[in-house]
Amino acid sequence: MDKKMKIRFFSVLSVCFVLSLFVALYPAQGKQMQGDDPHAKEALIVKGLISALEQLHYQPIVLDDEVSRKAYKAYLGSLDGGKRFLTLDEVNQLKVYETSIDEEFKNGTFEFFNLSVRLIDNGVERAKNIFPQFLDKPFDFNENESIIIDPDKVDYPANEEALKKYWKQLLKYEVLTKLQSKIEDQKKDGFEGEQKSVKVLEEETRAEVKKTFDDWFERLQKLRRADRFNEYVNSVSELFDPHTTYFDPKEKEDFDIGMSGRLEGIGARLQNEGEYTKIESIVPGGPAWKQKQLEVGDLIMKVSQDKVEFVDIRGMRVDDVVKYIRGKKGTNVTLQVKKADASIQEITIERDEVILDESFARSSILEQADVIDNIGYIRLPKFYADFERENGNSCAKDVAIEIEKLKRQNVKGIILDLRSNGGGSLRDVVDMSGLFIEEGPIVQVKSRNQAPQVLRDADPRVQYTGPLIVLVNNFSASASEILAAALQDYGRALIVGSASTFGKGTVQRFYDLDRLIRGNLEMKPLGEVKLTMQKFYRINGGSTQLKGVVPDVILPDNLMYLKLGEREYEYPMEWSEIAALSYNQKAYRLKNVQNIKQRSNERIAQDTVFQKIEKNALRLKEQRDLVSMPLSLNEYDTFIKVKEKQAKQFENIMKDNIPGFKVKNLDEDLAYIQVDSSRIARNDDWISNLKKDVYLKESLNLLRDMINYN
């Protein structure tokens, strides 16, 4: 296999792909497996899954009692993480099987799972009958009591009476939060609605909450056994690592559609997380990306069409959530989301089609008065590549084009912005890294029980030999981390950004269980399993897994005190290292990095915006760490107003143009931009945001110091 073919073989990083197997693991056993067992298909899926995990996973684990305990805990969390449905007695019935899940997996039996489905179905039915009785009469909001809002800090209710008491608190809190908001809305200048008494507002709010929960329970009772089964098998598969997951045929179809941008109504990709729907990624150029309030990691709680009436989507399948979010271009959808700091926000987005050119590499010229001028800036939202066409899109080729354009402008330095770039094509990582160095190794790719394969830049040309900064943040992942790591190891670029990148140093592939198991046609399709197959290592031998890439210069950000990235998962694969390679480059060598870092630290300490960002980060952490909330209207109102006052101090961070900071398009881009009003508007919006970006401002200061020291 030549070098080009090797690179193509390892050509996908974050975007998973299907790999067919040609050796079936099981013989035909249709009649034998089917029999009179209604769960024969589930047994077949489990057998195929176990075999795939044991034989194909990068780092398989032994299914034993310890794994069973972890799986039990994970499954119980997915079954009733909010502790709203099961009593302690029922949990103890399940706990009998805590160390036998591994045996049931191996034997294809489902005593524990069958019991769990029966108990949770009964628990949901019981809660459905419990909750309405607490909404028939007013709550007493003068009582001095509180509610613990972190389910991990709450025990399962001891009995049905304790469960009822817990539901009363939950409902009281739901009514309280909405009531306080209604009262405050009536006090605002310009309020045009009818002024209502607290008594009337409370009555209306209880009715709204009742309808919300009626709808929620109706959806919960529509959950299929297959939905529970997926959670059950993934409670085991995700112990291997967080990215190893079983997909039933419908989920796999949804995954494929999601990867191709099916949520183009707002330009976001979704995934289930417990009872919530999570923002997995935001499509650059799409409505959500342009609106700028929705963020990766946000949890969608409710959806409203044109602010008419919110629909509670908790417990809803992703494909059902899509029906509420998608819509005609020009219409509005409002999402009620829970942010990373646990605050609740309502975000209205006008639906539109996703503009693909916003996803591609683009450049501009930056200048900071009295600091430096004529600096090239390249934004790369993702490592895109079209593998279907011979001359399809390639981010490496596009970045090379932008570099040539910037060189014709005689730029003094270049900033390559990989912030929130979740990865993509590994082939393009190798090619793009090669734009800045002579030929040499870029990354090591290791499969299970095999020697590492070294992917190299084989092109001795260096497209750019000047000062280079690579800008990253917490959400720069996979391919972004490999490029940043390679250029850092070579001493070729100054890496600047958050405390570390995401820390995903693994690659996954889909395996079709239908191909793994021969015969059994009457039970197929069985679904697919996404398996972690390989690990990536830097040329210095260290993994990007878990630790990510630690920048040379770390800048404060709003999420700096929150646990994010691969480290956030409960069972991530560990960091490891292998032998370092021999590598060197002469294109450009960083000097005096410690002095450059020291000067940056001194500037940051004096910069009012960065000081504000760090204070806001502390506020967000404090908010996320909240355990309980008051259930008294007066206390809750005071609490909310204090929090709103605190938040108001930080609402204008990076909202104003930076004095003396200039951004302009390249002359040769103007013809393309001015083709239509839509492109002009999108470009104006892009330029406007760059003018407020304090991270670019500090990057210009760093480039000035790099040039002076070199």
What integer pLDDT is reported at residue 87 of this predicted model?
97
CB atoms within 10 A of CB 96: 11
At the top level of CATH, which class does the domain 262-350 belong to?
A: mainly beta
Q: What is the mean pLDDT of residues 573-592?
A: 95
List the catalytic residue out of 504, 530, 535, 612: 504
Q: What is the mean pLDDT of residues 417-435?
A: 93
Contacts of 487 (CB under 8 A, 6+ apart): 433, 436, 437, 468, 470, 493, 495
What integer pLDDT is reported at residue 27 of this predicted model?
43
List the catalytic residue out of 489, 512, 514, 552: 489
d(CA 549, CA 500): 5
Q: Two tokens at 24?
A: 């079936």
478 counts as catalytic: yes
d(CA 32, CA 502): 47
Residues 105-125: tens digit of each pLDDT:
999 999 999 999 999 999 999
Confidence band, pLDDT 50/70/90 cuts, at residue 34: very low
The structure's pTM equals 0.79
Give the rounded percent of residues in the chain with a pLDDT score beyond 90: 66
260 counts as catalytic: no
**Amino acid (one-letter) located at 481:** E
Q: What is the mean pLDDT of residues 3-32?
A: 38
List the catalytic residue out of 359, 364, 433, 478: 478
Sequence ranges of the domains in the chain:
81-97+109-225, 262-350, 357-508+530-588+658-709
504 counts as catalytic: yes
3-state helix, strand, coil in the chain (%, to 5): 45, 15, 40
Q: What is the mean pLDDT of residues 350-371?
A: 83
Per-residue pLDDT for 19 more than 60?
no
Strands (E), 431-588: 440-447, 453-457, 468-472, 494-497, 506-512, 528-537, 553-554
What is the rounded (10 degree) CA torsion for 70, 113, 60, 47? 170
What integer pLDDT is reported at residue 3 of this predicted model?
38
CATH: 3.40.50.150, 3.90.1150.10, 3.90.226.10, 3.30.420.300. Which one for 357-508+530-588+658-709?
3.90.226.10
| Least confidently predicted of 393-397, 498-502, 516-520 | 516-520
Residues 168-210: tens digit of each pLDDT:
999 999 999 999 999 999 998 888 888 999 999 999 999 999 9
What integer pLDDT is reported at residue 64 of this predicted model?
95
What integer pLDDT is reported at residue 37 of this predicted model?
63
d(CA 538, CA 26): 38
